[in-house]
Structure 1
């Protein structure tokens, strides 16, 4: 398995026009510095990394079994080369089933699928007053339970509401154990957010959504993120967050990165789908509960990239926010960049930013729906 691609290649040092040679990993990038606006060649950029994926292709992560493979295959066809399968707040037995399946997928990638890096445990350690689209199975966390769950699958991210009794200490314990803890589904104050960051929390789950908002006399959790965060995830489907608020976050948070928060409805026609134990409805470009609450998205990472560019970001900056920053957040120095020795995770885009090819660890993926 080896290959070579020519075009405008986005390297850690900037754009070069030349050739990238690879097998499972990148062997060489050769070329001359270039401003890609001065030619008509394709763009070659790092594969997308999505740290918040609930579903796709009609399948939901909480189904367990084979569902995660179908989800990883669908997202691969949209340029996602690595992902975190994301759980819902649910009864313990449901979470066990999902994590066992995620663990199996993380241990063995199948051809044509995105690399499943592990799990994002989005709940159940959240505030029942800020469920968003989560079912009401919220509960306080214990270190013993998290360790038990970690035996099923790598827990790469854990979302917690820091204002819940006992959670601040747990944030410190989990962070010290090498897990990334981020703040989300929270009614916590600005002060709660600052305290959580001081205890080792590293980021924020779908910034602006399902958290206390910004007011000039009560800055809330959004204020804590905008004032202090190095990293935060955001859903740039232009439904979850207004473009103006996205621009605020881009100015305030140096390594803001994008996620899809995608559901089973992604890549599917309008209709009813499952999100954990919730029935959700896809219509008018979004996914909602019967009461109208947004319930995840139908976003894909290639569309996220195009949305960012449409908001005014240059392609190099947009690329970092759908790939490199997420890799850095998880400490994945061999992903999210096109450099010698990195995994050959890359996408080829035409001049309209449409996908032409996707390579995952050097394997060319079939972009046609199976």
Structure 2
């Protein structure tokens, strides 16, 4: 069945950066954008105070171009569909922006490391079905030839819009904090190798994780920042001073905070303290209950509340610096078994991924829907803050918050409908239901 050109979602709980508002929105499948956001006349629930005027809200919450009956169901006007329009009554379900995952390696038995289109499509489709409408493709440490082949192939998929870009998590990482990366393939930062990889990426190499204490690392961070590539600090044994030097050089993200980095100590805070106290920095969290305990995640949210990278509210509003990530690998959606992450053998038992020798956690098996739901139910974060961390904050870190990350008119019609238990009910990508 062909989907109508225009879809109006009514009677929804819209999750916005400032709170939750009853209302609806209209999307146009022809251009894949949100065209209109409307609110009910009266706010409902705590934290609903979103300033009208930030969005085009016609009088009394009606769309200006819709024919509306004055019969009402509570405070919600009943609209008659126009020709070519479908009206969907969501009966009070939540609508959140489509999730944005800036750190993910695969799913459904597939890994981005292969660079194969069929593998990438399988991983993307699994994450999309679980609400992630914008995804990066993460590569772990490999030989230069392997990385060059993968970056070149994934750049084609990014150009086609399947993925948002490529994240090199390595190979310039500290051997002492290598985690699930092959220590035999780690190397010191090589600016010429990075230049070659960036050229193969044709503008789609968007992010690189570097250990700033390595020789030449700060120069590479500067090169990345100058080229518009997001530099992240991770897999590092750096002191707080060295980490701050990386941020001064242009790094703007802390890769999976706490994991694979020097731990926080009261006399030497290391990268954890340097990242949490720098308002320029977005901090990633793998909120799966394995990598980070709920009380530690709660501490991170509290420490970064109201501090937006770059200062000010940023595109689309919002005030946090936490970006939820999955760090998902091929086992996601597949159940327990034996898998690989790059060249490393991984064993998954009870949903927990470990290197086969048990020496390190090896990514996760969660989706962003899992990370989001845990943020609300286990960490105790307000739903609007969890949605921000799963959508707007990573979009801002990647420089794409003008297009995705919040329910604003003019942005991509990427959204997730959640039931009362915060389970994914429906997903829309570019104005079309998946």
TM score, norm. by length of structure 1? 0.93
The partner residue of 2:372 within 305, 321, 337 is 305
Q: Could you say which residue in structure 2 is the equivalent of 1:188?
A: 238
Work out whether 1:226 is the aligned partner of 2:276: yes
Say if 2:419 is the partner of 1:350. yes
Q: Which residue of 2 aligns with 1:41?
A: 92
Runs ≥4 in structure 1, deviation > 6 angstroms? 37-40
Q: How does 1:47-66 map to 2 (within 5 A)?
A: 47-65=98-116, 66=118
Larger Rg: 2
Of stretches 166-175 and 3-12 in structure 1, the one that deviates more from structure 2 is: 3-12
Partner of residue 78, structure 1? 130
Partner of 1:95: 147
Residues of 2 paired with 1:49 and 1:319: CA distance? 10
Q: What is the aligned partner in structure 1 of residue 69 from structure 2? A: none
Asked whether 1:336 is paired with 2:396, we answer: no
Unaligned runs of 5+ in 1: 110-114, 366-370
Unmatched 5+ residue regions in structure 2?
49-73, 75-90, 308-320
Give the equivalent residue in structure 1 for 2:25. Answer: 20
Question: What is the deviation of 1:63?
Answer: 1.4
Distance 2:33 2:224 in 1: 32
Whether 1:273 aligns to 2:316 is no
Residues 118 and 155 of structure 1 are in contact (CA less than 8 Å); yes or no, is this contact kept in structure 2?
yes
1:51–1:84 Cα contact (<8 Å) kept: yes
Is 1:286 the counterpart of 2:352 in the alignment? yes
Q: Which is bigger in relative contact order (C-alpha 8 A, separation at least 6)?
A: 1
Q: RMSD of the TM alignment (CA)?
A: 1.7
SS of aligned partner of 1:52:
coil
Equivalent residue, structure 2, for 1:238: 289
Could you tell me how far 1:15 is from its partner in structure 2? Answer: 3.0
C-alpha distance in 1 between matches for 2:103 and 2:324: 9
The superposition leaves residues 158-194 of structure 1 with CA deviations (integer Å, 9 ceiling, x where unpaired) of: 1000000111122122212211101000111111111
Please say if residues 69 and 105 of structure 1, whose CA atoms lie closer than 8 Å, have aligned partners that are also in contact: no
**CA distance 1:14–1:314, shift in 2 (3 Å):** closer
